[in-house]
Amino acid sequence: MDAVGSSIPPVGTQGASRRRRTEPMHVSGASFMIPRAGPHPHLNSGRNPPATVRAHVGSRRPARVIAGALAALGATVVPTACGIISEGGPPNGVFRDSGVEFRVEVVAEGLEHPWGLALLPDAEGILVTERPGRLRWLRDGRLEDVEGVPEVRTGGQGGLLDVALHPEFTDTRWVYLSYSKPGSEGATTAVARGRLAEGRLTEVEHVFVAEAWESGGRHFGSRILFDGEGYLWVTVGDRGAGDRSQDLGDHVGTTIRLYDDGTVPADNPFVQRPEALDEIFTYGHRNAQGMVVHPGSGEVWLNEHGPRGGDEINRIVAGADYGWPHYSFGRHYSFRGIPDPEEGVGVELPLLHWTPSIAPSGMAVYTGDVFPEWRGDVFVGALAGRHLRRVRFHGTDPVEQEELLGDLGHRIRDVRQGPDGLLYLLVDASDAPILRLEPNG
């Protein structure tokens, strides 16, 4: 579920997708389907550790307050597991989730529906996109507009979306932007790049324009990523036209793999098929808005929105079909059923799925030293669920989940790890902050 402003209960049935035996686990009134320990086809070990789930559920009053403001940005107003603490006294605004004590600091405020962020090297600051079409540069404690941004079509879920840095940014200064590009046929997902100079992008050029034109403003995908080998990855949503996700002559509902200049690698899986578009790496996706390179395997993982339920974390396999719209663990908005994906039907199964939807957006694998207890864990922003979801995997099996920051009531749009080892979050709101998780003490 990914409609702007949607509100869905944050906790519900969880499932690992491979058809292993499952048993219910009840946590604070919510039922989770947890796979029993057992062998996994992608692991050498014969048995996985038992799965556990922690969740903070119950009636919470959403709070439009931000935790632990930096001294330059105002007073400290912070949440705890018991509610909102305005000032002073134990627990003094300290979160104690998953055995880790941390605070939430405000890095900046006043952003309008921010969508993606990139942390610049050499303490140059942070680049943030705003969906209405602005690229902001946070440096020296101030937010500045960056000029030279391509024209975008705003409306619905469209606008200026993700931002990523070239792997050799220090030398090239290339900044990549994804956005909804306007045209005579409506809008489509596009990626452009420009060189970041003093307060503007120069030499701006298109790298990729998807064959995904539609008149509506839904499901642009648009998460972009460079992997460890320098390939550029782009997600393209189904644009509200699910059947197109199965058409290899169309970029709708796909992941795209390119070189940094937009040319196509010769080993892309459909290059030799005349009916297929060369840029496609996988297909059958609905709307992927989070993507990471897994540090252990080097694989690309992504999260994507299901319909009514069936949000997923997927592992990207060259040439694979991920099933949409023919298979999903969710249901249509009309409540009409969709067959569950299963072994033997020719689709790649998700590593994890969520029903009810949490509306996943943004994704990071923590590799830093600041929070050693979280090392290797996957963090996912939840829009409808209004929390930060932490997932621990053993290989490709999810074995533990936890909701963080639910008391804040924020729609978490993006999550990134900074070079300082801290986690940075974007909140989706008309007057939104950048947040940072810092250890206590």
pLDDT digits (tens, 9 = 90+) for 274-308: 999 999 999 999 999 999 999 999 999 999 999 99
Look-up of token digits 């995997």: 393
Number of domains making up the chain:
1
> Does residue 414 belong to any structural domain of this protein?
yes
Residues designated as active site: 219
CATH code at position 20:
2.120.10.30
pLDDT digits (tens, 9 = 90+) for 125-177: 999 999 999 999 999 999 999 999 999 999 999 999 999 999 999 999 999 99
2: in domain: no
Q: What is the pLDDT of residue 93?
A: 65
353 in a domain, yes or no?
A: yes
Instruction: Print the domain residue range for 387.
Output: 13-439
Q: What percent of the chain has pLDDT over 70?
A: 79
Q: Looking at the domain assignment, is residue 251 inside a domain?
A: yes
pTM (two decimals):
0.82
Q: What's the pLDDT score for residue 292? A: 98
- Whether 3 maps to a domain, the answer reads no
Residues of the chain with pLDDT under 50: 1-91
Residue 5 falls inside a structural domain: no
Q: Is residue 394 situated within a structural domain?
A: yes
pLDDT in the model for residue 99: 82
